[in-house]
Amino acid sequence: MVFKLPSSAGRSRVGTSLLHNRWILYFVFALALACLFFFSATGSLFSLIVFALVGFITFFFNKNMTVVLMTAISTTAIVHFLFLGGGRNDITAYLKQEGFEDSAEAEAEAAPEVEEAMTRPTKKPLRKPTTPTTPKPTESPEEEDIDKELEKLRLQKEVLDKLKNLEPFLNKMGASAA
């Protein structure tokens, strides 16, 4: 005599219904996309590869996409944050490679001068507020063109004067970079 167990024996109806819920799948899919975006934004190519491989291998053993995605997300998170240090090593190595290891000292040296330049009031604005003007009936089109060109030259001179004020800061930055 053989006894058959009911098909639901050993399984929770709540757990089974959650695994087959469409909205849960959408949520897990959005979470997986967010994780992939995070890993690509931090530049962790290894984590992206682990995510793809774990998802690919899990799909051979389980066809439920919610289970596949959750396994890939959790495994990749463990690998990324426990074994890789959350990507901080990649960023630190990149900054040291690019020569930013003493950037705090350079910022501290330049801070007073930059602060002074930022807070110093300008003599006059670069552009005058524009008001709609109607052409005078006595002015000819050639005179208007000459006035426009003179205004452009005056603005160019103001910009060049402002750039001359920045020249000492640029020279100091160039000397500290070299």
pTM of structure: 0.43
Cβ contacts of 144 within 8 Å, gap of 6 or more? 135
User: What average pLDDT score do residues 154-163 get?
Assistant: 86
121 in the Ramachandran plot: left (φ > 0), alpha (ψ -120 to 50) or beta?
beta
The confidence band for 98, taking pLDDT boundaries of 50, 70 and 90, is low
What are 43-77's pLDDT values in tens digits? Answer: 888 899 999 999 999 999 998 999 999 999 999 99
Return the domain boundaries, the chain.
13-93, 102-127+138-177
